[in-house]
Amino acid sequence: MGSLPSRLSVVTLGARDIGALRSFYRSLGWSELPASDDSWSAFLLGGVLFALFPLPELAAEAAPGVPDPAGGWSGVTLACNVDSREEVDTAFAAAVAAGAVVVAEPTDRPWGGRSGYFADPEGNRWEVAWAGTARFDERGALIAFG
């Protein structure tokens, strides 16, 4: 029997308004793939593809027959780890300037790092975090943690 490779290749958000989300993520300074449009959009982030796909179409593929989720928090958070404690505040401020909604201001955490939470225009939660044990390669991909 084969095995499932231990990797995360793509994270896809089901978008209620893909145009607004595309605009928000471009406002963060992220480069959208050239093939992106309002039927599918993607950003290559440190070795992981971050994709946006219309929610009804994603639901038809990934959850056929299940009602669309209500608005609000899904119980999932995405994270962008940065290189220093100070960079948490700078990156967080950039997200807010691009239109993010503040969920929890950056603060030093009991686990020894620093992080804050914001929501994108559709309520998807992002954490901007620094953990002293995180190590990244030249592309920004996480290569060690802990």
Provide the pLDDT for residue 61. Answer: 87
CA dist 14 and 6 (Å) reads 24
Specify the pTM: 0.87
SS3 content of the chain, % helix, strand, coil (to 5): 20, 35, 45
Q: Give the per-residue pLDDT at 33.
A: 96
Q: Note the pLDDT of residue 6.
A: 83
pLDDT band at residue 41 using 50, 70 and 90 as cut-offs = very high
CATH superfamily of 10-144: 2,3-Dihydroxybiphenyl 1,2-Dioxygenase, domain 1 (3.10.180.10)
Do 136 and 143 contact (CB within 8 A), yes or no?
Answer: yes
